[in-house]
């Protein structure tokens, strides 16, 4: 991310925070940011990062439509909607750190990760798209995916462009599978469609077969990622979906047929003109199916 974009985000976050806190809190935040920016003042950074909720409280931030649009323009796929004031203030504090000395910069933030409680972890993982030296946080992000804390997983997964941009394929696939295992809103994952891959599809095909063998349902969003890689071996699954009583499953089957290069599946959709028409009119889509879950 270039310096101009970072500056614009910092300025925007400053305005949003200042609209959402008292004058005394604004003064406190700026003072602590100035003190924490000192590369040698780790004590003040740790103290300020921990103390922020006591000063800002934990209410949800109030955003204007222009804030939302500008953030999405500056960082596509990123959102701070429904964040709390303390979460945004912590991320903003990290953005004030001087990044010129790489080793020191990384060490200071890693130290915060090592000591972080749940809400601090949420803020830290939320900050990943905004930190300097983005390649340096890949292992930390992959470590976070192994967390069993729901809010931490959501901070990594939801409307956070960092994983899609920087995780290697195995780590990305692990993130997606963890989202399905923990019943997360998979459609909130930035880069979901762009990073669909054959290895992930193979894992998902096996996962669905295991669930069906155990007489359990599978999340329809699985087909959003596996469907483009439909093949002869797994084509029977489309037929099984069309036979199900659940309308969402039948719509997912139609979407597979509409979004695959596998000719048998594409031809099958012609047998279901009502679904084909609904897809053409965008009445049925993966996002529409997600909104029903």
Phi, psi dihedral angles at 84 (to 5 degrees):
-90, 160
The average confidence (pLDDT) of the chain is: 96
- Residue 51 pLDDT level (bands cut at 50, 70, 90): very high
258-262, long-range: CB within 8 Å, 24+ apart, which pairs? 259/227, 259/228, 260/227, 260/228, 260/229, 260/230, 261/228, 262/230, 262/231, 262/232, 262/235
Choose among 101, 160, 105, 100: nearest CA to 130.
160
Strand partners, 189: 158
Residue listed under structure tokens 């069309």: 242
CB 284: neighbour CB atoms within 10 A? 22
Q: How many CA atoms lie within 13 A of 77 on its CB side?
A: 19
pTM attached to this predicted model: 0.94
Choose among 92, 145, 86: nearest CA to 120.
86
pLDDT at residue 40, as a whole number: 80
Per-residue model confidence as pLDDT tens digits over 244-290 = 999 999 999 999 999 999 999 999 999 999 999 999 999 999 999 99
Judge whether 83 and 60 are in contact, CB under 8 Å: yes
Q: Tell me what percent of the residues of the chain surpass a pLDDT of 70.
A: 100
Strand partners, 60: 84
pLDDT at residue 128, as a whole number: 98
């Amino acid at each position: 991310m270039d310096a101009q974009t970072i500056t614009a985000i910092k300025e925007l976050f400053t305005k949003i925070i200042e609209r959402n806190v008292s004058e005394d809190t604004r003064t406190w935040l700026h003072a602590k940011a100035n003190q924490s920016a000192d590369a040698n003042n780790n004590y003040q950074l740790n103290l300020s990062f921990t103390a922020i909720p006591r000063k800002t409280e934990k209410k949800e931030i109030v955003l204007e439509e222009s804030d939302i649009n500008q953030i999405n323009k500056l960082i596509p796929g990123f959102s701070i909607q429904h964040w709390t004031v303390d979460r945004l203030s912590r991320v903003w504090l990290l953005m004030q750190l001087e990044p010129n000395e790489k080793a020191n910069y990384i060490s200071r933030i890693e130290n915060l990760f090592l000591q972080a409680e749940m809400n601090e972890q949420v803020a830290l993982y939320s900050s990943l798209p905004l930190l300097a030296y983005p390649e340096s946080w890949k292992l930390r992000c992959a470590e976070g995916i192994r967390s069993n804390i729901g809010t931490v997983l959501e901070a990594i997964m939801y409307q956070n462009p960092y994983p899609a941009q920087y995780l290697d394929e195995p780590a990305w696939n692990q993130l997606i599978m963890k989202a399905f295992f923990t019943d997360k809103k998979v459609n909130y994952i930035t880069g979901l469609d762009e990073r669909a891959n054959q290895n992930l599809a193979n894992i998902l095909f096996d996962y669905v077969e295991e669930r069906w063998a155990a007489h359990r349902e599978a999340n329809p969003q699985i087909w959003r990622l596996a469907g483009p890689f439909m093949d002869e071996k797994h084509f029977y699954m489309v037929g099984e979906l069309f036979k199900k009583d659940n309308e969402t499953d039948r719509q997912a089957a139609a979407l597979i047929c509409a979004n695959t290069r596998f000719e048998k599946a594409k031809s099958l959709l012609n047998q279901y003109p009502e679904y084909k028409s609904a897809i053409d009119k965008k009445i049925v889509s993966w996002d529409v199916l997600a909104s029903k879950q």
